[in-house]
Structure 1
Amino acid sequence: MNLFEPTVEPPVTATVVVCVYTDKRWADIVAAVESVRTQDVLPVETIVVVDHNEALYERCRAELAGVTVLPNAHKQGLSGARNTAIEVATGEVVVFLDDDATARPGWLRALLTPYADPDVIGVGGIAHPRWPVSRTAIHDSGRPSTLPGGTTRDATGELDWIVGCTYTGQPTEQAEIRNLMGCNMSLRAEVFKRVGGFAEDIGRIGRNPLGCEETELCIRARQAYKADGREVRILFEPAAAVDHRVSDDRVDWSYLRRRSWAEGLSKAAVSKLVGQGDALSTESKYVATVLPKALLREVKAKRPASAAAVVTALGFTAAGYVRGKLPGATAHVQLPAESTAGSASSVSHDGA
C-alpha cells in the first residue's frame, strides 16, 4: 500500500460473530475477540453467542468488553448459535470467526473489499493450522503424520479440512468457489433474508464432528438466486487470513476416522437437501486428482503412516456417505424453511 494514498474504506459494514460453547477455550475466545478489536477496519458490532452454557454466558458478559453477548436462542449447536446472531446483526455483511481462531492484521478489510461487486454474496478466507506439540510430527513445521502436507509453517495439507483449515486443492489466489469454510467466512445479510439461516439438523454440536452446514447454505443460496435469473458469486480471498488452533485430540487416528465418517454422513445429508450434483461437485475433483497425488508423494517419501492416513480418510468418508444414503438415515434433515412456521425467508426457527 502506498503510504501517501488515502486508505479506502470497505464498501460495506460488517457484524463479526464468534460462537462459543465451552470455557475450556476461554483463552482462545479472548484471543479471537481481541484479534477483531485490533483490525485496521472495525465492525459495527461484534457478537459473541454462547451455546447453551449459562456459566460461560455469565463469564462472557462479565469479562468481554465491547461486545454483545447473547445466549443461543435456537437448537443447541453451531448452526443455531449462528442463526441467533443473524437475527440481530445490523451489518450489511455477517462475518463468522471460530472461537479457536485469531484473525491476522488486514483480515476484515480483505474479506469486505470484494463486496464492491454487487454480484458477490459471500467471501471466505484462508485458515492456517497451528499444530500442537506432537511426537508424530513429520517435519519441523509440527505437522502430524495423520495430516500430511507441506513443510513450511503456512503450508496446506490435503487432509487439513479435517481440522477446519484450508486444504491443498483450494485456490491460492482470489477465485470463485462453491462454498465457504466455517472458521473464516462472510455472507451478505440479504442472503439470510432471502433463503433463511443455517440448517440446524446438520452441523457441529459441541464436540460432535458433523459439518457441511456452510456447504449446504452456500449451495442453497446460489440456487435461489439462479432461480430468479441472477448469477451470483462466492469468493475465496487468501489475503483474509486467520490462524486456527488445532487441539491435541484432533491429530490422532480416532479423530481422523470419526471426522471422515462424519463428513460422509454430512455430505449425504447435504445431497438430500440440495441435490447430489451440487453437493459433490467439488469433492469429485478432489478425490480424482488431489488425493492420489498426496498418496504417491507420501509413499515415495517413505512415510507409511501418512500414506495410510490418506487412504483412511477417503475410506471412512466414502463409508459414511454410503451409510448416510441408506433409507431413513437422513429422514430428520430439513431445510430451515421446512422447520419453521414462517416464510422461506425467515431465519427464526427451532429445527426439527
Structure 2
Amino acid sequence: MSITPDISVTVVICAYTMNRWDDTRAAVDSVLAQDRAVDEILLVIDHNEELYALACAQYAASPSGGARPRVLTNGHARGLSGARNTGMYAATTEVVAFLDDDARADPGWSEAMVEHYRHPEVDGVGGYASPQWPLDRPGWLPEEFDWVVGCSYVGQPTALAPVRNFIGCNMSMRRRVITSLGGFNAQVGRVGSKPTGCEETELCIRITQHEPTARLLFDPSMRVQHTVVAERTTFGYFARRCYHEGRSKALVSSMIGARDALSSERTYTLQVLPRAIGRGLRSRTADGVTQAAVVVAGLLLTACGYGLGHGRVVLFGAPQ
C-alpha cells in the first residue's frame, strides 16, 4: 500500500453533546485505525464543560498504535463554525480534514484524500457520506433528499469530479487557504441541534471566488458512515431542515452573491428533482407516489425558507 508522508494531515472532530459520546469515541477510533496514519487528531468540545472533562479523561493516555488525540475547547463563538475554526487554527499540518462526531471514516479514507493534494491546484477534497439508519431506510424519503440527514444524495457526482462545495461531515482543505480567508463564517452553520447549515458551502465558494483556478474535488472513494438518529427520520425533522436550509441559503446569497450561492441548486431544482417526481409517479407504488409528494413538499419548504430569509435580509440587513 502506498504511503505519502510528504502530505501532513490533521483531522478535526467537533462535539457538543454528551448524547453522542459513544459516536464521538467511534469517530476518533475510526481515524486512529486508518490505513494511512494521520499526523494529528484534534477533538474540539463546543462549550460543554462536562463533555470536555470526559474527553480529557478518555484521551489522557496514548492509545496503542496511534497518536493521542488532543482535546481542545472551542475558543470562538458557540456553534460548529466556531469549533471548526478552533481546530483549524490549532492544526499544524498542511491539510485539515473535518469529520463529524457521529461519522466514522472507512479505513482507506485518509489515503484516498491525501493523494489528491499532490496536485498544487487542489485546495480541497470531499467525500461520500453513507447514511447509517437506526433501522430501515424510511420508505417515504427520496434519495435526492439525503442531504437532509447530512449524507450524500442523488444528484451528486458518482465518480471523481470538481464540485462547488462539500458535505460538511466529510471534507478537507489546505490549511493555508482557509486560514487566509478567516475560516468558517460564524454567522452561518449549526448551533447545537438547530437544523441550520451552509457554513461549508459559504467557505468553499469564498475559496473559488478568491482563487478562480482552485480545484475542489469530490472523491466517492473517500467514504464515511454517517449515523442517522431516529428523530431525524421523521417528516417533522425533514420539514424543519428544508425550511432552515432555505433560510441559510438566503443568508449565504446575501454574503457572497446569489449567482454563486445558488449555482448548484438551479441544476438540482430544474433537473434532479423533476426526474425524482417522474420516477415516483411512474412507479405507481405507495412509496413512490409518496416520495414524489415529498419532493414537492421539500422544494416548497426550502423555497419558503429562502423567501422569508431573503425578506429578513432586505429588511434588516445581513449579519456583520
Category of TM-score, reference length = shorter chain: over 0.9
Unaligned residue ranges in structure 2 (runs of 5+): 62-67
Amino acid at match of 2:226: H
* Pairwise CA RMSD: 1.3
Amino acid at match of 1:245: T
CA distance, structure 1, for counterparts of residue 55 and residue 77 of structure 2: 20
CA distance, structure 2, for counterparts of residue 207 and residue 332 of structure 1: 23
User: Is the 8 Å Cα contact of residues 252 and 261 (structure 2) preserved in structure 1?
Assistant: yes
Match 2:301 to one of 316, 330, 342: 316
Q: Deviations over 1:50-73 (max 9, x none)?
A: 011000000000013511001111
Amino acid at match of 2:258: Q
User: Is the 8 Å Cα contact of residues 324 and 330 (structure 1) preserved in structure 2?
Assistant: no
CA distance, structure 1, for counterparts of residue 281 and residue 79 of structure 2: 39
Residue equivalent to 1:137: none
Q: 1:298: Cα distance to partner?
A: 1.6
Match 1:243 to one of 217, 221, 225: 225
Q: Deviations over 1:73-122 (max 9, x none)?
A: 11110000001111110110000000000011100110111011100000
Amino acid at match of 2:296: V
CA distance, structure 1, for counterparts of residue 178 and residue 109 of structure 2: 23
CA distance, structure 2, for counterparts of residue 262 and residue 81 of structure 1: 21
Q: 1:10: Cα distance to partner?
A: 5.4
User: Is the 8 Å Cα contact of residues 52 and 76 (structure 1) preserved in structure 2?
Assistant: yes
CA distance, structure 2, for counterparts of residue 205 and residue 331 of structure 1: 21
For residue 159 of structure 1, give the secondary structure of its aligned residue in structure 2.
Answer: helix
Instruction: Answer with 112-121 or 303-312: which moved more.
Output: 303-312
Amino acid at match of 2:245: E
Match 2:137 to one of 137, 143, 146: 143
CA distance, structure 1, for counterparts of residue 282 and residue 8 of structure 2: 49
User: Is the 8 Å Cα contact of residues 144 and 154 (structure 2) preserved in structure 1?
Assistant: yes
User: Is the 8 Å Cα contact of residues 146 and 252 (structure 1) preserved in structure 2?
Assistant: no
User: Is the 8 Å Cα contact of residues 4 and 114 (structure 2) preserved in structure 1?
Assistant: no
Q: Deviations over 1:205-251 (max 9, x none)?
A: 1110110000000101111123xxxx110000111000001011111
1:272 aligns with 2:257: no
CA distance, structure 1, for counterparts of residue 316 and residue 81 of structure 2: 17
Q: 1:277: Cα distance to partner?
A: 0.4
User: Is the 8 Å Cα contact of residues 188 and 248 (structure 2) preserved in structure 1?
Assistant: yes
1:93 aligns with 2:91: no
Residue equivalent to 1:83: 85
Residue equivalent to 1:16: 11
Unaligned residue ranges in structure 1 (runs of 5+): 1-5, 134-141, 149-156, 335-352
Residue equivalent to 1:296: 278
Amino acid at match of 1:281: S
- Name the % identity: 49
1:203 aligns with 2:189: yes
* Counterpart mapping for 1:182-197 below 5 A: 182-197=168-183
TM-score, normalised with respect to structure 1: 0.85
Q: 1:180: Cα distance to partner?
A: 1.2
CA distance, structure 2, for counterparts of residue 105 and residue 313 of structure 1: 34
For residue 209 of structure 1, give the secondary structure of its aligned residue in structure 2.
Answer: coil
**Which of the pair is proportionally richer in helix?**
2
Residue equivalent to 1:43: 38
For residue 144 of structure 2, give the secondary structure of its aligned residue in structure 1.
Answer: coil
Give the number of equivalent residue pairs.
309
TM-score, normalised with respect to structure 2: 0.94
CA distance, structure 2, for counterparts of residue 146 and residue 83 of structure 1: 37
User: Is the 8 Å Cα contact of residues 210 and 266 (structure 1) preserved in structure 2?
Assistant: yes
Match 1:62 to one of 57, 60, 69: 57
